[in-house]
Copies of this chain bind each other. A is one copy, B any other.
């Protein structure tokens, strides 16, 4: 289920020759091990086994375990940002676009659940690793400020709003929903998540209420 990130490389894997592709393949193997065994279980040996190679071969691509960790984190970020950029280019009514953009960072399908799940494990780990260099920053606050600025630019926001405060509110709401959609999905299904997000965007806008 959650282990099926993108392609299942385990069966009948074609030879991957490209260095960068191989690094992605290893990072995705690390994700699967973390999803299965938690961060504590993500040893070089297990990740290598999951990737179908020896620990020595893995070290050819990542000299230190920390290099792999940082790379695997960056790869999660990149995937999310690629999906967001795809949506930004779509032609949609502004409120609809804002709602769709915000929903994009909430784990409502298996792919995003896996991403969020592994991201949690990364976050909890790096909290206790102040020595770790190159950890990608969380750009969600910036992203959500941009969504609020977009609605403002389109002339849709109610008058007199403090944009910075509204961005902070929406950021907390979306991140909270993302956590709950992952951990409390029995209660909080995709439909409710969408209603909450839509209601929240509409309340910020002039006429949509």
Give chain A's interface residues, CB within 8 Å of chain B: 37-40, 120-121, 123-125, 127-128, 138, 141, 165, 168-169, 171-177, 179-180, 183-184, 187-188, 192, 195-196, 199-200, 203
Cα–Cα, bound, A196→B175 (Å): 15
With a 10 A CB-CB cut-off, give which of A172, A174, A175, A192 has the most chain B CB atoms: A172
Question: Closest residue of chain B to A38, judged by CB?
Answer: B128
6 sample A-B contacts, Cβ–Cβ < 8 Å, listed by A number:
A165-B196, A165-B199, A169-B199, A169-B200, A173-B173, A176-B176
Q: Known interface pairs A38-B128, A141-B184, A187-B141. Does A175 touch B179 (Cβ–Cβ under 8 Å)?
A: yes
Residues of B within 8 A of A187 (CB): 141
Q: Is the interface of A mostly helix, strand, loop or mixed?
A: helix
A183 touching B128, Cβ below 8 Å:
no
Residues of B within 8 A of A188 (CB): 168
Cα–Cα, bound, A65→B188 (Å): 32
Residues of B within 8 A of A171 (CB): 176, 180
Cα–Cα, bound, A171→B196 (Å): 11
B176 touching A196, Cβ below 8 Å:
no
Closest 7 CB pairs of A and B: A176-B176, A172-B176, A38-B128, A124-B124, A175-B176, A172-B177, A173-B173
B38, B176, B195: the one within 8 Å of A179 (CB): B176
What is the distance, in angstroms, from A146's C-beta to the closest C-beta of chain B? 16
Residues of B within 8 A of A120 (CB): 124, 127
What is the distance, in angstroms, from A115's C-beta to the closest C-beta of chain B? 15
Residues of B within 8 A of A38 (CB): 124-125, 127-128
B169 touching A172, Cβ below 8 Å:
no
What is the distance, in angstroms, from A198's C-beta to the closest C-beta of chain B? 10
